[in-house]
Structure 1
Amino acid sequence: MEKWTFDVKGMHCASCAANVEKAVKKLEGASEVYVNFAANRLALDADPAKLTQQQVIDTVRAAGFEASLPESAGSEPVKINFDVKGMHCASCAANIEKTVGKLDGASDVYVNFAANRLTLRMIPEKLTSRQVIDAVREAGYEASVAEAKQSAANEEEEASEAKRELFRFVTAVVFAALLFYTAMHGMLHLPFFPISDKARALLEIVLLIPVVWAGFRFYTSGFRSLFRGAPNMDSLIACGTAAAAAYSFYLCAQGEFKHLYFDTAGMIVALIMLGKFLEGRSRRRASGAIRELLELAPETAVLVTPQGDRVVPAAEIQPGDRLRVKPGERIPVDGVVEEGETSMDESMLSGESMPVEKAPGSEVTGASVNKNGSIVMKATRVGSDTVLARIVQLVQDAQGSRPPIARLADRISGWFVWAVLGISAVTFLAWLLAGAGFPAALSFALAVMVIACPCALGLATPIALIVGIGQGAKSGILIKSGAALETAGRISTVVFDKTGTLTVGKPAVTEVRVIPGAGFDADRMLAAAASAEAGSEHPLAQAIVTAAREKKLESWKAEQFTARPGFGLSCRLGGAEWLFGNARLMRAVGLEPEVPELKLSGAGSVVYAARNKKLIGVIGIGDRLKPGAADAVARLKSLGIRSAMLTGDNNAVAQAIAAELKLDEFRAELLPGDKAKALREFQAAANGGAVAMVGDGINDAPALAQADVGIAIGSGTAIAMEAADVVLMNSDLAEVPAAIRLSRATMRIIRENLFWAFFYNAIGIPLAAGVFYALFDGPILNPVFGALAMAASSVSVVLNALRLRGFRP
């Protein structure tokens, strides 16, 4: 679904708006229709596969009003995803890309063969989803607008198709084995019933028929694509096996019943189906992250009504509904706790297994698990607005994106099959002219067609991308695109924001010092300060009270309390006169606060304490480091990555934090606009490496956007998360080096896959063509073994990518 808005003219009252709403609601593909009479604006959710913007405009005109797209809205491209069926190799994906890329209004077209996903940007004024679907159908495939969650009917259809594929695969293998035994029993000296050569040839034909039936889609897809001028891998299989079978039929017609190729054709089909079967199973394992995320959402919920509780489908929940969630159940949608207390397992979002305590007023996230208490919650975000739905959409978009490293392989896949057909034809003619004879020339040409594997090239990048991004999502690391993942793999410098990122972002007592011989220890002075500040709502006062409470210090009763705005306060505690405040307050009563014994190391604020006009000590208040901050910086160093910090705080505080964390560099006293400028300076000094920015606040958004890779922590604002390339759902900074390790591991797998795919084809095709035999008297490749090698090549690429499933943060 897409959000569409229109400007409407001619409305004079609320009834006019109601008439427009009523007319548009009747359109198929229109929902959530709303007309704002005051703003003269029509808004709706539209299914582009069923509805065009022009249809909406015409409907409004028929109702007696005028509608138009907001100025420049029609020229703004929107991103849309389609599920594609019928692709069998990377050449299929390249053909669809080429077809859709020719459509007026389409740009950034990318077909991910591994994910069966078409992604493009299109201008709604020039192009509709229906036109894209029709173009894909004309290319010989089926497409539909991608939905985040599959319906039960679709899941049943996929399960039924998988069973049919398994039956066809078993049929092909069984009859191909019998065919091979029939043809080769004499050469292998295996037992067989007495039979003439002619009868044996007839039996081979009979056994070949079920194999051809099982692999019939190779012929329908292959020849159809070939006749359209866009051959794919199926075209190679169809041409090769059809040529082998046709030559065998020709020999039979000539009365020659020996040295037939029926068994070769059958074994090739069976082995290719074996490879496709194993590849399909592995690919389903690779794309399991999305399914696992979708399965987290419960199908039903308990709705609390005045008439009592009742079970309803989760899809029917509306914002504002009150829901009851019992221990052990999953939260159906995002919301807020209204009654009860419990703890939640939110590991599905953050990867953090520790339960999170929830009480009335606490936010809860859909799909998290209620551990030990019954609660009543109010739904706030439902459907596609929930955190889980947004994560699923983000992961799907990322898995369907194209990283820069894939461009070369994708370009090669576009003309790969034509090149193989050409090489096969040249091979046949060359050996025929060399006097090798028709059977030998055919064998070499057939071997070339069946060993060449565009699938290995086409799968090399997207399958690793799917597994890597999916594994990251399961660990709470959301990588928004393939380009971001590739860039993250070459990060050489990580720049942290301070407040809220490296630090907790909340004032806390960091240090307490007393003057030796003052007659008070640190805890007693802190207890006195907390007693005096107990009634204050000032953040510094609350920090002191919290520190005393955590230490379980004795509380005193404060008397004659007097607040001194801008300075501090005075009161009587235990019969003594106390002053708590800044240096100006101390100087106002004739005390000099700047004494060596009270020098603090990097505190953001200080509160001095004086008793009976005598300076006692000082309390340092600052922002505490987050647990794990130092460990995260140390892990970055172990990866060879420099770390730096940007902050608007004063230089002394920044220096103290940088020293404690052992940062390589820091910049202090920066304005929000200065952070993006500092990022540009880091980028200029990176010597080709990438610079990442880690932040969480609104003022970090420009720097996150400026960085080569923007990383937002999950506790941050929506704006920061929108501007970032990587989102860490858990606030644990250890996920920063984990995200980089995941990116590096994924890129390493992609490079290995591409190397294998190029190397395999670079060696396999000349070997099959007999080049090594002609030049060095090397081995000759039987077409059957060529088919086996082809099947193994694509499967090995997928299995190599599946190694990423073992990644742990």
Structure 2
Amino acid sequence: MDIDKMTSGHGTMDHTKMQHGSGHSMDMSGPGHHAMMIADFKKRFYVVLALTVPVMLLSMQIQQWLHLAISFAGSPYLLFALASVVFVYGGWPFLTGWLSEMKAKNPGMMTLIGFAVTVAYLYSSATVFGLKGMDFFWELDTLILIMLLGHWIEMKSVAGASKELELLVQLMPDEAHMVMPDMVHDVKTDTLKANDIILVKPGEKVAADGIILEGESYLNESMLTGESKPVQKVKGDKVIAGSINGNGSFKVTVSHAAKDSYLSQVVKLVDDAQKSKSKTQLLADTAAKWLTVIALLTGMTAFLYWYLTGQTLAFAMERMVTVIVICCPHALGLAVPLVVAKSTALSAKHGLLIKNRTAFENSRKITTMVFDKTGTLTIGKFEVSKIVSLQKALKENEIIRLASALEQQSEHPIATGILQKVKDLKIPVPKAENFKAISGQGIEATVEGKKVLVVSPGYLKENKIRTPDGFTANVTETVVFLIIDKELAGYIALSDEIRPESAEAITTLKQENIKSVLLTGDNSKVAASVSNTLGMDSFIAEVLPHQKLEKIKELQSKGGFVAMTGDGVNDAPALAQADIGIAVGSGSDIAAETAGIVLVNSNPKDIVSLILFGKATYRKMVQNLAWATCYNVIALPLAAGVLYNQGIVLSPAAGAVLMTVSTVVVAINASMLKVKT
């Protein structure tokens, strides 16, 4: 898995192309490759550092400052030779980067550095071979030294920003214990395929997504879903590759190959999000490109001004080089990508999967938060609380038996509740044929020659079927009706508890001045009860899936910036219509949703975390952009020499130090981003 093709900030060598704001590209085709590049900069830095002492001691300017007199036959040529090694070996990453940018017709930071060191080197070399003036080989040396150090530090910062994603990748174990007929055999994880059986021993990581065939244990899924408590898993339960096993051991029937695993999808999703560009990123890109042009024009203007007003060629060259170096749009180019790298990887670690960068950054604008009820604000685990027969010939057990025939085809929480009741009563589930879903209202099928429907109260209302005399349902109950051969036969009431975290989530939204609206297909009494208990602003009940889209439009027409949470299947049109669609509880089927953001758990507190994290991420981007812009506004005139008459003038090396410091400030600020849970 290529996890390092992430938006990065440094334009060093032309290897695999990573774009960032200042227009330079860089390839990082894996963590190992990235580590090699860091090591390469480190080695070049130390070689140049070793050559810095003799270069400085042989330089005329340094000798004047230190009152030294080191001169011998050929000393200028030795200085030229040492400086040439520094220029070629130390400057190589910048020179090749410059060439790549020129080929791509996309000048950026490498163009500026390459141009600056080349001008300094050519001018200084000319002074050795007869041009009148003083060389600045020592300034060239220290400039390259500081640029190498800056890139080395910055690359380590970028590696730090993406380490959460690397940790996710490392979750996948290399080997699995494959169960053969005669023995257990260790195989490479990437060779596993659907229906293979693997053994997971105590303390090991689960090697593949699958279903427990035998045994049970508690699994730690915190690095995958953000759920901190270990989750009990028994026979028939799904397990996710990368989760950590507790003290039990169990066998798993593998669901699919490693490349299709939940973890692989998460890594791909994060990778895609980091490579995608939002409006903030495009703004930074534009600013960085303009800064490149401004740096070159200002540098050349400074050169002409100082040279034409009587200063030496060396001084005029020095001003130009300093302006160009100090205005490298490094900090500006890194301002957004570093925060992107950090935020997408960090959110994935907390079960918040960002598919659309713009949607995530826009979460700060949310004014109305629309919640689906079942499985989001409520636990989503329905338990049968009442079975009522409306025909004397039918017993309660027959009502639940026929209903279970239809519900075995469904994964809805109501179906799970009915099937659990049948299992508890030890009733065999009959076979259903000609199965058909009635959109948003129930299901129908043929069972033992009878046409059976399991439907919502909304179906009865729409088809003008009168509810039975004496029908009552508890305000918190959800009811489904059984119709056999067009005759109302009975009903089943199920209860669903409100999540303990829901009230806290709604309170936090209120504090953030965000309205909370409940949108549900359930009856008005249940909706009102849930809404009032949680202190929500309003509720909309008995809504069919296609009507949810209209309700979202209504809220938008009132000027609201609307986010909606739903399960991403029935709610797909509404999620697409909302300004921000958030799919919840979609498990390992994360790629098929229309939503811009996917929450692995259905916990409403995660939705609040997402909004607060979106705001924090945007703040970091703005802080970084503000810092990078202000730094350039102040540094550029100083580099050009506007305060020269007041005795304040920056050398190219000092310019390089300031540029490096500005880049490191941006990197440190990005690394301080955290998810509040």
TM range (shorter): 0.7 to 0.9
Distance 1:474 1:348 in 2: 5
Aligned to 1:218, which of 58, 75, 94?
94
Residue 231 of structure 1 aligns to a residue whose secondary structure is coil
Please, which of 604, 613, 631 is the counterpart of residue 760 of structure 1? 631
Q: Please give the alpha-carbon distance, in whole angstroms, between the structure 2 residues aligned to 1:224 and 1:341.
A: 56
Deviation at 1:321, TM superposition (A): 0.8
Q: Distance in 2 between matches of 1:542 and 1:383?
A: 29
Q: Tell me, in whole angstroms, the C-alpha distance in 2 between the residues paired with 1:542 and 1:770.
A: 75
Instruction: Describe how 1:137-176 pairs up with structure 2 within 5 A.
Output: 156-176=32-52
The answer to whether the 8 A contact 2:376-2:603 is kept is no
Q: Residue in 2 aligned with 1:55?
A: none
* Aligned residue type for 1:306: P
2:537 maps to a residue whose letter is D
Deviation per residue, 1:593-621 (Å, 9 max, x gap)? 9xxxxx965555699xxxxxxxxxxx996
* 1:241 matched to 2:109: no
Could you tell me which amino acid in structure 1 is paired with residue 517 of structure 2? A
Is the 8 Å Cα contact of residues 9 and 20 (structure 2) preserved in structure 1?
yes
- 1:781 has 2:650 as partner: yes
Secondary structure of the residue that 2:178 maps to in structure 1? strand
Residue 743 in structure 1 maps to residue 588 in structure 2: no
* Higher mean displacement: 737-746 or 455-464: 455-464
Distance verdict in 2 for CA 1:250–1:663, change over 3 Å? same
Q: CA deviation at 1:649?
A: 2.1
Report the secondary structure of 2:255's partner residue. strand
Cα distance change of structure 1 residues 658 and 155 upon mapping to structure 2, 3 Å threshold: closer
Partner Cα separation in structure 1 for residue 84 and residue 171 of structure 2? 45
Counterpart-to-counterpart distance in 2, 1:85 and 1:620: 52
Deviation at 1:754, TM superposition (A): 1.2
| 2:640 alignment partner in structure 1 | 769
In the TM superposition, what is the alpha-carbon distance from 1:299 to its structure 2 partner?
0.7
Match of 1:100 in 2: none
Residue 113 of structure 1 aligns with which residue?
20
Is 1:681 aligned to residue 586 of structure 2?
Answer: no
1:505-563 CA-to-partner distances (Å, cap 9, x unmatched) read: 3445899xxxxxxxxxxxxxxxxxxxx9799747999989999xx9xxxxxxxxxxxxx
Shift of 1:356: 1.4
Q: Name the amino acid aligned to 1:448.
A: V
Measured after TM superposition, the shift of residue 312 of structure 1 is 0.8
- Residues 1:696 and 2:567 are matched in the alignment: yes
Q: Match of 1:518?
A: none
**Does residue 128 of structure 2 align to residue 252 of structure 1?**
yes
Tell me by how many angstroms 1:298 deviates: 0.8
Corresponding position: 1:808 with 2:676: yes
**Which of 255, 258, 276 is the matching residue for 1:383?**
258
Q: Secondary structure at the match of 2:344?
A: helix
Distance 2:573 2:122 in 1: 66
Residues 717 and 376 (structure 1), Cα distance of their counterparts in 2 relative to 1, 3 Å cut: closer
Larger RCO (alpha carbons 8 Å, 6+ apart): 2
State whether residues 22 and 329 of structure 2, in contact with CA within 8 Å, keep that contact through their aligned partners in structure 1.
Answer: no
With normalisation by structure 2, the TM-score equals 0.80
- Of 335, 342, 349, the residue aligned with 1:474 is 349
Separation (CA, whole Å) in 1 of partners of 2:262 and 2:419: 36
Letter in 1 for 2:152: F
The within-5 A match list for 1:183-332 is 183=59, 186=63, 189=66, 195-196=70-71, 201-212=76-87, 213-223=89-99, 225-226=101-102, 230-254=106-130, 259-332=134-207
Higher strand share: 1
Distance in 1 of aligned mates of 2:39 and 2:508: 47
Q: CA deviation at 1:685?
A: 2.3
The 3 A distance-change label for structure 1 pair 621 and 298 is closer
The alpha carbon displacement at 1:202 in A equals 4.4
Judged with a 3 Å threshold, the aligned counterparts in structure 2 of structure 1 residues 488 and 197 are, in CA distance, closer, same or farther, namely farther
SS of the residue aligned with 2:195? Answer: coil
Letter in 2 for 1:406: Q
Q: Does 1:339 align with 2:207?
A: no
- AA of the residue aligned to 1:658: S
- Give 1:163 shift: 2.6
1:794 pairs with 663, 668, 676, which one?
663
Displacement after TM superposition at 1:230 (Å): 4.2
1:204 Cα deviation after fit: 3.4
**More divergent stretch after superposition (305-314 vs 430-439):** 430-439
CA-CA distance at 1:403 after TM superposition: 0.8
What do the CA deviations read for 1:373-412 (whole angstroms, capped 9, x no partner)? 1111111111221111111110100111101112222123
How far residue 684 of structure 1 moved from its aligned partner, in angstroms, is 2.3
Distance 1:703 1:807 in 2: 27
Check whether the contact 2:113–2:328 (CA below 8 A) recurs between aligned residues. Answer: no
Is 1:395 the counterpart of 2:285? The answer is: no
Counterpart pick for 1:667 among 518, 540, 556: 540
Match of 1:67 in 2: none
- The 1:499/1:220 distance shift into structure 2, 3 A limit, reads closer
Q: Which runs of 5+ in 2 are unaligned?
A: 387-394, 404-413, 425-451, 454-465, 482-491
The reply to whether residue 407 of structure 1 matches residue 282 of structure 2 is yes
Find the residue that maps to 2:337 and give its secondary structure.
helix
2:525 is aligned with 1:656: no
Q: Using the alignment, how far apart are the partners of 1:464 and 1:733 within structure 2?
A: 25
Post-superposition offset of 1:772:
4.3
> Mean Cα displacement is larger for which, 537-546 or 497-506?
537-546
1:142-176 deviation per Cα after TM superposition (whole angstroms, max 9, x unaligned): 87xx9xxx7xxx65555444333321121123322
Q: Cα gap change, 1:655/1:210 in structure 2, threshold over 3 Å: closer, same or farther?
A: same
Q: Which secondary structure does the structure 2 equivalent of 1:505 belong to?
A: coil
**1:7-45 Cα distance to aligned partner (Å, 9 max, x none):** xxxxxxxxxxxxxxxxxxxxxxxxxxxxxxxxxxxxxxx
The SS at the match of 1:723 is coil
The alignment covers a number of residue pairs equal to 605
SS at 1:648's partner residue? coil
Equivalent residues in 2 for 1:380-459, closer than 5 Å: 380-459=255-334
Q: What SS is found at the alignment partner of 1:771?
A: coil
Tell me, yes or no, if the aligned pair for 2:41 and 2:151 is still in contact at 8 Å: no
Residue 531 of structure 2: SS of its match in structure 1?
A: helix
Instruction: Identify which range, 262-271 or 700-709, moves more after superposition.
Output: 700-709
Q: CA 1:389–1:115 in structure 2 vs 1: closer, same or farther (change >3 Å)?
A: farther
TM-score between the two structures when normalised by the length of structure 1: 0.67
Question: What one-letter code is carried by the residue in structure 2 that aligns with 1:754?
Answer: L
Give ranges in structure 1 of 5+ residues lacking alignment: 2-79, 97-110, 117-139, 512-531, 551-564, 567-581, 588-592, 594-598, 608-618
The one-letter amino acid of 1:678's match is K
Question: CA offset at residue 189 of structure 1?
Answer: 3.9
1:345 deviation in Å? 1.2
CA contact 1:226–1:232 (8 Å) conserved in 2: no
- Of structures 1 and 2, the larger Rg is shown by 1
- CA positional deviation for 1:262: 0.7
Secondary structure, counterpart of 1:327 in structure 2? coil
Q: Which residue of 2 aligns with 1:24?
A: none
Q: CA deviation at 1:586?
A: 5.9
Q: Could you tell me how far 1:742 is from its partner in structure 2?
A: 1.0
Indicate the RMSD between aligned Cα atoms, in angstroms.
4.0
2:179 and 2:31 map into 1 onto residues whose CA distance is 31
Q: Alignment partner of 1:504: what SS?
A: coil
Aligned to 1:725: 596
Query: The residue matched to 2:135 in structure 1 has which SS?
Result: coil
Residue by residue over 1:229-273, the C-alpha shift from the partner in whole angstroms, topping out at 9 and shown as x without a partner, is: 5433233223222322333333333486x8430101101101111
Equivalent AA in structure 2 for residue 464 of structure 1: V
Q: How much does 1:211 deviate?
A: 2.3
CA–CA distance in structure 2, aligned partners of residues 87 and 665 of structure 1: 46
Structure 1 counterpart of 2:288, which letter?
S
- For residues 156 and 543 of structure 1, the distance between their equivalents in structure 2, rounded to whole angstroms, comes to 49
Distance (Å, rounded) in 1 between the aligned partners of 2:474 and 2:33: 69
Residue 207 of structure 1 and its aligned partner are, at CA, apart by 3.8
Give the aligned residue type for 1:770.
G
Q: Deviations over 1:705-737 (max 9, x none)?
A: 111111111256948961111111122211011
Contact 1:695 1:720 in 2 (8 A): no
Distance 1:367 1:541 in 2: 30
What amino acid maps onto 2:549 in structure 1? A
Q: For the structure 1 residues 456 and 510, does the alpha-carbon distance in structure 2 shift closer, same or farther, using more than 3 Å as the test?
A: farther
